[in-house]
């Protein structure tokens, strides 16, 4: 692959912890969505910035160009790990991944009454599987004791190849299925399949919890899955349209949302079989189904209900659901 056909970024939300317990992120930084704090560290060469997002500390980095497997294996995982370690060093905290955050883990029982805990995201979310693509904002009154964190991935790619609402489904197939991501209560509110935000540069995929940030093998597999997808879209566009038409999307959605290991594995095998037959060069970038990477998760929480509306997404491509064009008749044969 030549040129920057793909860039990856992220804004994972992690929980800062010290010996005395869990710390709301606003005690560490005044950074906000509108004005994040640049992390003052002599080795911060990756554009690392942080902000408080509810109780969680969210970090983001400059987009990372992914041009081959070496970038997936070395550059991307190293940058994510490096960012986490810089923050831990500067702020003397241990960052942990908790998809569900319980009020019980904070010293003050008024923690969730703080203004930072009353906002459910700066922009609305879209659902790639819904007839009405926008989701209503979360009602915190329904879950007074819980908040949630995510591990969102930002994908920079040529949207002329594939619109964001289709790309979000492909992200389920190439990323959301790639590792076990137990989310418990978060799955019912934020962790559904195909949740995304369209962006000028591509899309933000919002289905994942932040657990992937804690393991380099999982981080590598995510980058490798997106690289495989973008390489396929670039070099095998008709085959990817065929894959889109032939994929059982309700089954993909079920495998992710039910956290059904058998269904997940079955969909991965079907995807890889199709890719191996039809997109051989792109297939070499696909993570092996039997790798079974584990997301490192520190906490499990109980269960409870869902629902979440935004900016109209860009127009849906009119050809992704269309049957393939019949072959043109050969005029010479007809003479």
Task: Establish if 328 belongs to a structural domain.
Answer: no
Task: Establish if 327 belongs to a structural domain.
Answer: no
Task: Report, as an integer, the average pLDDT of 228-254.
Answer: 96
Task: Establish if 324 belongs to a structural domain.
Answer: no
Domain that holds residue 84: 7-314
Task: Establish if 319 belongs to a structural domain.
Answer: no
Question: With 60 as the cut, is the pLDDT of residue 116 above it?
Answer: yes
pLDDT at 66: 95
pLDDT at 329: 53
Task: Establish if 334 belongs to a structural domain.
Answer: no
Distance separating alpha carbons of residues 102 and 117, to the nearest angstrom: 12
Instruction: Report percent pLDDT > 70 for the chain.
Output: 82
How many Cα neighbours within 13 Å face the side chain of 193? 26
Distance separating alpha carbons of residues 247 and 239, to the nearest angstrom: 12
Q: In the chain, how many H helices and how many E strands? A: 10, 13
Question: With 90 as the cut, is the pLDDT of residue 109 above it?
Answer: no
Question: With 50 as the cut, is the pLDDT of residue 146 above it?
Answer: yes
Question: With 90 as the cut, is the pLDDT of residue 266 above it?
Answer: yes
Question: With 80 as the cut, is the pLDDT of residue 321 above it?
Answer: no
pLDDT at 292: 40
Please state the domain count of the chain. 1
Question: With 50 as the cut, is the pLDDT of residue 130 above it?
Answer: yes
Render 15-44 in DSSP notation, one character per residue: EEEETTEE--GGGT----SSSPEE---TT-
Task: Establish if 217 belongs to a structural domain.
Answer: yes
Q: How confident is the model at residue 325 (pLDDT cuts 50, 70, 90)?
A: low
Question: With 60 as the cut, is the pLDDT of residue 335 above it?
Answer: no
- Nearest one of 48, 43, 82, 76 to 62, comparing CA atoms: 48
Question: With 80 as the cut, is the pLDDT of residue 93 above it?
Answer: yes
pLDDT at 5: 84
pLDDT digits (tens, 9 = 90+) for 38-85: 999 999 999 999 999 999 999 999 999 999 999 999 999 999 999 999
Question: With 90 as the cut, is the pLDDT of residue 154 above it?
Answer: yes
* Segment (H or E) for 53: strand 49-53
Q: How confident is the model at residue 120 (pLDDT cuts 50, 70, 90)?
A: low
Token couple for 178: 């790639």
Distance separating alpha carbons of residues 137 and 177, to the nearest angstrom: 26
pLDDT digits (tens, 9 = 90+) for 161-180: 999 999 999 999 999 998 88
pLDDT at 167: 98
Q: Partners of 59 in the beta sheet?
A: 50
Task: Establish if 321 belongs to a structural domain.
Answer: no
Instruction: Give the least confident one: 24-33, 98-107, 206-215, 293-302.
Output: 293-302
Instruction: Give the least confident one: 165-169, 250-254, 297-301.
Output: 297-301
Q: How confident is the model at residue 293 (pLDDT cuts 50, 70, 90)?
A: very low
Token couple for 173: 């197939």
The pTM of the whole model exceeds 0.75: yes
Mean pLDDT of the chain: 85
* Segment (H or E) for 276: helix 261-278
Question: With 70 as the cut, is the pLDDT of residue 34 above it?
Answer: yes
| Neighbouring residues of 30: CB distance < 8 A, sequence distance ≥ 6 | 37, 52
Task: Establish if 333 belongs to a structural domain.
Answer: no
């Amino acid at each position: 692959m030549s040129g920057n056909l793909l860039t990856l970024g992220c804004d994972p939300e992690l929980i800062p912890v010290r010996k005395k317990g869990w710390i709301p992120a606003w005690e560490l930084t005044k950074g906000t969505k509108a004005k994040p704090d640049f992390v003052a560290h002599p080795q911060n060469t990756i554009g690392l910035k942080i902000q408080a997002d509810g109780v969680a500390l969210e970090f983001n980095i400059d987009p990372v160009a992914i041009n081959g497997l070496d970038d997936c294996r070395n550059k991307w995982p190293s940058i994510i790990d490096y960012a986490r370690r810089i923050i831990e060093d500067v702020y003397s905290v241990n960052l942990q991944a908790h998809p569900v955050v319980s009020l019980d883990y904070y010293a003050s029982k008024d923690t969730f009454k703080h203004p930072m805990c009353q906002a459910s995201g700066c922009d609305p979310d879209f659902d790639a599987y819904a007839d009405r693509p926008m989701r209503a904002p979360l009602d915190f009154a329904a879950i007074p004791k819980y908040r949630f964190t995510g591990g969102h991935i930002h994908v920079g790619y040529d949207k002329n190849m594939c619109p964001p609402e289709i790309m979000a489904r492909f992200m389920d197939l190439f990323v959301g299925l790639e590792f076990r991501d137990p989310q418990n209560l978060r799955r019912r509110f934020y962790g559904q399949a195909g949740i995304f935000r369209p962006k000028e540069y591509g899309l933000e995929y919002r289905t994942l919890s932040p657990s992937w940030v804690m393991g380099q093998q999982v981080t590598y597999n995510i980058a490798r899955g997106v690289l495989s997808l973008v390489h396929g879209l670039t070099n095998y566009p008709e085959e990817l349209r065929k894959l889109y038409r032939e994929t059982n999307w309700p089954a993909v959605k079920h495998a992710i949302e039910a956290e059904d290991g058998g269904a997940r594995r079955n969909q991965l095998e079907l995807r890889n079989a199709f890719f191996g037959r039809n997109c051989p060069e792109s297939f070499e970038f696909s993570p092996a189904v039997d790798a079974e990477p584990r997301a490192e998760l520190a906490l499990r929480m109980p269960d409870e209900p869902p629902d979440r509306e935004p900016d109209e997404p860009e127009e849906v491509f009119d050809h992704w659901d269309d049957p393939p064009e019949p072959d043109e008749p050969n005029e010479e044969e007809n003479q």
